[in-house]
Structures are given as C-alpha cells and as structure tokens.
Structure 1
Amino acid sequence: MESCEKTPVSGREIIDMAGRKVILPETINSVFAGSFYGYTMLASLAPEMIAATPMPARECDKRYLHPHLHDLPVIEKITEVDALAKVKPDVIVVWADKEQPFHKKSEAVCDSLGIPFVYAIVGNLGDVEDFPAAYEFLGKLLGCEARAARLAEYCRKTLAEVTTVVDRIPERLRPGVYYAECENGLATEFDDSLHAHLLRLMGDVNVHRGHIAEHKGLEPVTLEQIKAYNPDVIVAWSRAFVKNVLLDPAWAEIRAIRDRRVYAIPNAPFNWFDRPPCFMRIIGLKWLAHLLYPNDYAVDLVKETQQFYALYLDKEISAEEAGRIIAQEI
C-alpha cells in the first residue's frame, strides 16, 4: 500500500465536510477516528497513520490488515481524554451523520487537548452512497488523494452496476430477505435501520418493516413472525446458525430454509454487511446482488473478492482463500 505524503505544509487550511474551515498542523503523521466507522475507512486508506483503534484486531483478521494496525492502543471514543492525550494524534476525524453533523462533546475534548478536528459526514453513518465523498475528503486531509480517488471510483462503479441490475427487476420478482442477527437468529433490523442499509439498495427487500427507535437496532422477533414473513432468503451473522437452522424442524416450513437459501455473511477482516457498517459493504453489495439476483448479476465473486482485497487492503489472496472468506470459513 502506498504511503500518504507527509510533506510539511505551513498553516494548511481545509474545509471539512461540515463546511468548517480548519487549520491543520504543518505535518500530519497521525490521525485518530473515535468510531468504528472512521477507523475502518482509514484502515483501508492510510493505515500506517492511525494512532489508536476503537477495537483490537482479531488474531484471525491480522493477515488482512496492515501490520501497523495489529497492536495499536485501544481508545473506544473521543471522550477518553487521558488516553487520547497520550497518543496525541495530529488530527482527529469526527464521524457524523447528515442529520446530526455536530458533536459538541467531541469538540470540547479536541479543543481542551489542542488537537484540530474535522468532520467526515456520511448519511446514517454508514450509507455506501456517501463513501466516495468521504474517501475523497480524507484523501485530501491526509495527502492520499490518488489512492482515495481509486477507492472512491471503485465504490461509485459498484453502486452504479448494482443499481442498474436492481432497477431492471420488477418489484414482484425481488426476493424478500430476513436479516438474522444473534446466534439464534431471533433479532433483526427494521427496513429503515442503518444496519440493514444494503437491503434497501437491493430493492427495499427487507421483510421486517418499521422504524428503528435506537441506534443499536437488534430488534427482537419471534419465530412465528419469521414464519409469517416467509422470506425467500435469509442472511445471517453466524455460520453456526446457518448450519443449525437448516436442520431445525421448527424452521423447516420457511421458504428460505426449504430452498436452502440461507447464507452466512462474510466477515474478514470486517463484516461485509453490518457491525461495523464500513467499506467492506462495497464488496458486500456485489456479494448480496449475486445471491439475490444470480441470473442478472452473474459475476465471478471469487475474482471480485480477490480484486477488492488487493485494492482496499493491499492484500493478494488466492482463489481458494477468497472462496473460504465468502463461505465465512475464515
């Protein structure tokens, strides 16, 4: 992965995504994003510049992550003042939603530490449509414009090709999808949830309709509700759930079970669908479109996965390894 430029720029001014003028230090060597959203995007753009992580890397994921990310100090949020003072990044990225673009507590912490901060704004914190602009802004911030442009362009191209396919499918022919969360599959997301965003992009195919009341989601459901929905497809957090549910007589009458259209979501090094909603959603779009519309989106998903990992993670993987990632065997 090419390094971001670290050429001193005296008093460089930048306009952040909230429209604020920010004066940056002469040299940016390190950056902190106090959220999973910002951290994961930076991990694909400029991993060597990240000062701390909101989550320790899983051992099984380290082979896909830049070595600099393997053992970073863990700071879960910007308001951990003492921990943040120790790492003292050159700039802090505050990840924000379009509906609530300003975080006064985060601003107060940054000001108290004398660390400049910028806002990166993405709809619902994880809407893929806003990723290209976020990449381009962060590329400008960190001196990675060329790399950011490539990542943004791949994202735009993926959105365009998937949208073209979905728009051709009549609504009556779009499969209903149930998103099974937790080990027993009895939690899910409403159709307007940020956690189920990819299902909206697939033609608004989420069978669980309603309004998300809390950011965390994880709406409890009963098996009887799922039977009434009778989804065509189930996508799930857990590979163990997928294996077990196909053998469970209590679920047997559900169409997705009968047709064996139950899939574990790939999750190396981050989930392709949700938790955290991150740049892996870009390859997740291809994966989901291929599952739901195999005749209309007949891509070579193994090859697509290899290309994605090479571009976003600077990691060359074999076809066999890509297949294992897709099958959630890693």
Structure 2
Amino acid sequence: MRPDRRSLLLGSAALALARPARAAQGLRVQDLRVQDLRDQGLRDQGLRDDAGRVLDRLRTPVARVFPAGPPAAILLYTLAPDLLLGWPRAIRPAEKPYLSARAAELPEVGRLTGRGNTANLEAVLASKPDLILDVGSTAETYRSLADRVQDQTGIPYALLDGRLAAAPATYRSLGRLIGRDAEPLATLSEGILATVRERVARVPEGERPRVYLARGPRGLETARQGSINVEALALMGAVNVAGPGGSLAQVSPEDVVAWAPEVIVALDPAFAAAALQDPLWQATPALAANRLHVSPSLPFGWVDFPPSVNRLLGLWWLGKILYPARFPEDIRAVARDLHGRLYHVTPDDAALDRVLAGAL
C-alpha cells in the first residue's frame, strides 16, 4: 500500500523535528569529547605546581577555588576574582570599599595553613571547589600538607611560590592552572621589581638605612632578616636592625634603642601614636628625625601581612620613605593606579586619604 500525501507530510515533519535534537545531542557528545581531550592534555603535559607536584586530578574549566590562606586569596582575587569562593577572614567594613562589591561580601571560609588555621576538611568539601590554592613556602613541610589534603579530599591542591621576588612567575603558574591570561599582571609585577632593583642597586651600602619593623600594638614584635615578613624591606636594600634569624621575634624597648634604627616602619597606628609620646622610643634616631611611618593597610597590608602580591604597592611606598630622591613618583597616583589593576576598584581622593593616613 502506497503512503498517502498526508502520511508523507507528517513523516517529513517528524524527521525535521528530530534533526535539531540529534544535532544538539551530537554537539553535547562533541563537547564532552573536547573536554576529555583537554583533561587528557593536562595529564599528558604533567601540569605541575611550583613545588613540582603533578596535578593529574585537575579538570578544566576551573570555576571554584578554595584559598588555603590569605596569600592565596589575595593572589587569586587579583587575577580571577570570579573564581574565589571566600576569604580566610571576612572582609571588614573599612576594607570593603577597596574591593569589588561581589568580593567584599564573600563569606569567611577559614584557612587551612598558617597560624590559627580554622577550616576543616568537611567545610572544604562542602564548598565543592575544583582546586585548593596555597601560596607561600614550597618546602617539604608544605608539600606534605598539600599531598595529605589532596589525598583526603580528592581535590587538586596547588602549592605556589609566595616569595615577593617570584610574583611574576607565580602569576604565570596560576594562569596556567586556572586557564586565565596572567601575563598583564606578571608583566606589571616584573616591571615593579625591575625598577626597584635597578634604583636600589645605585644606593651605596653606607647610605642604606637601618630599619626596624614594629609589629603589634606595642611595637615589640619584629621579623628578623630572612623572614617572609621583611621581604619587601630586603628588596629595598634596608638594613634590618634585628639581625638574621628568618623568623618573628619578641624584643624589648631597650633592644630597639640599642639597635638605633634610622627608620621605624609600624604596622599598628596605635603603637605609632604611643611611641611619639614615649621617651624611650623618642631616644631612637628614627623618632628624632621624624622617620616613624605607619604602613598602609587597606584593603591589605603593604609591607608585611598578608605576604602576597599586595606588597607590590609597599615597594613603591618604601622607596618613597627610604629613598625619596630616587623614588620621586607621586605615591597617590601610583596607589590609585595599582589599586585599580590589582583590586579592580579605583579609589577616589577621600579613599586614598584613608589608605595613606599616617604613612608619609
């Protein structure tokens, strides 16, 4: 029996409707195959972190990243703020205007590394990250921690070099891991470091100032030479009066007076205000020459903490207070530009006033 015209038309319509569905199904299969090839490519390349660990569990695209600590959170925010799941510590009200609206309201997720680690692995798993990012030392202790957390959670754990001098390479490593173009920020940090090295190299050894880093409300915690907390000062060629040791140290006012620092860099404004009224601190050459400076700290510290790429701004500021003739740039203009590039918000004059209060 031959089909009639109506049957032929209905059959043609059914075929026409079926084609898009089959095409869509074919595209979905093709997309999955492309994704499989990308993932296989990562495995074949042996994608590694800065500790040399192969991240064979990492899948693209990376959409959610858990920061193991403050340095990782800041680095990630500057390059890919949309991937950041939260902050190790909630952003405070005074810090919020200097960050994007979304980032300022992200939740507190705790930290996996460093002093006062507060995140547990259950909370990490519940946030469903594609990657755990840690930025700091790549020594064996931290490699072991990364391996242990990765084994326990099944989540790729990348450990990147947190040294300030390594910032360009660290940006490039992060860009490779998350599939983002890190070259603009790598080039920016490269340029800042090169400028600092070139200018500091011209300073005779005898003209490099003796500096004391005053931490805490009493100013009696400091960081000895070799510590990550004084990397910015070391890059500026400053002589650390606390001497070598590579760690934080508690000292006495008498120690500081004996060391006779020519410049004091304070992290706490309350300490700076008290020191100006204290005869013991007034006995230092730094206070006699009015060279007690409070490091800017909005939205993050410029010199010491957290030890991440936020310290790139601090290099310019330290240059200004240590070698004003060699760093003639307008620090307000520099700060405005770098805030825009790193923090995705360009502060107005009033916001800059708050950032630089007591700093110069």
Matched, 1:241 2:281: no
Post-superposition shift, 1:178?
0.7
C-alpha distance in 1, partners of 2:283/2:148?
Answer: 55
Aligned residues of 1:187 and 1:220 also touching (Cα < 8 A): yes
Q: Does 1:22 align with 2:55?
A: yes
Tell me by how many angstroms 1:210 deviates.
2.6
Of the structure 1 ranges 22-31 and 180-189, higher mean CA displacement relative to structure 2 is found in 22-31
Match of 1:3 in 2: none
Which residue of 2 is the match for residue 137 of structure 1?
173
Q: CA RMSD in A?
A: 2.1
- Tell whether 2:326 aligns with 1:296: yes
Secondary structure of residue in 2 paired with 1:15? coil
- 1:229 and 2:265 are equivalent in the alignment: no
- 1:86-137 superposed Cα distances (whole Å, 9 cap, x missing partner): 10101122335243375334323322322223231x2xx4x21111111111
Q: Is the 8 A contact 1:18 1:101 kept in 2?
A: no
Matched, 1:200 2:230: no
Q: Work out whether residues 191 and 210 of structure 1, in 8 Å CA contact, stay in contact via their aligned partners in 2.
A: yes
- Residue 73 of structure 2 aligns with an amino acid whose one-letter code is Y
- What secondary structure is seen at the aligned counterpart in 2 of 1:196? helix
Aligned to 1:68, which of 102, 126, 151? Answer: 102
- In the alignment, which residue of structure 2 is the partner of 1:4? none
Q: How many equivalent residue pairs?
A: 313
Counterpart of 2:134 in structure 1 is: 94
TM-superposition CA deviations, 1:253-305 (whole Å, max 9, x none) = 21111111101110011100112111110010000011000011111100000
Q: CA deviation at 1:328?
A: 5.5
**Matched residues in 2 for 1:230 and 1:96: separation?**
32
Q: Which moved more, 1:88-97 or 1:40-49?
A: 88-97
The amino acid that maps onto 1:75 is G
The answer to whether the aligner puts 1:167 opposite 2:197 as a matched pair is no
Show CA shifts across 1:156-181 (max 9, x none): 11111111111111111111111111
Asked if 2 retains the 8 angstrom alpha-carbon contact of 1:246 and 1:260, the reply is no
Gaps of 5+ in 2: 1-31, 114-118
Which of 135, 150, 156 pairs up with 2:184?
Answer: 150
The within-5 A match list for 1:180-219 is 180-212=214-246, 217=248, 219=249
Task: Structure 1 unaligned segments of length 5 or more: list them.
Answer: 1-6
Q: In the aligned structure 2, how far is the partner of 1:159 from the partner of 1:75?
A: 31
Cα distance in 2 for partners of 1:57, 1:306 equals 20
**TM-score, normalised relative to structure 2:** 0.81
Residue number in structure 1 paired with 2:4: none
Residue 282, structure 1, aligned to residue 317, structure 2 = no
Counting only pairs closer than 5 Å after superposition, residues 39-78 of structure 1 correspond to structure 2 as 39-69=73-103, 70-77=105-112
Q: Which residue number in structure 1 is paired with residue 159 of structure 2? A: 119
Aligned equivalent of 1:306 = 336
* TM-score normalised by the chain length of structure 1: 0.88
Identical aligned pairs, as a percentage?
Answer: 30
Instruction: From the superposition, tell whether residues 34 and 165 of structure 1 become closer, same or farther in structure 2 (CA, over 3 Å).
Output: same
Residues 279 and 328 of structure 1, relative CA distance in 2, 3 Å threshold: farther
Show structure 1 runs of 4+ deviating over 4 A: none
Q: Deviations over 1:18-56 (max 9, x none)?
A: 333323224321011212221111111112111232211
Q: Find the counterpart in structure 1 of residue 16 from structure 2.
A: none
The structure where helix makes up a greater share of residues is: 2
Contact 2:171 2:183 in 1 (8 A): yes
Q: Is the 8 A contact 1:90 1:115 kept in 2?
A: yes
Give the match's secondary structure for 1:103: helix
Counterpart residue type for residue 16 of structure 1: D
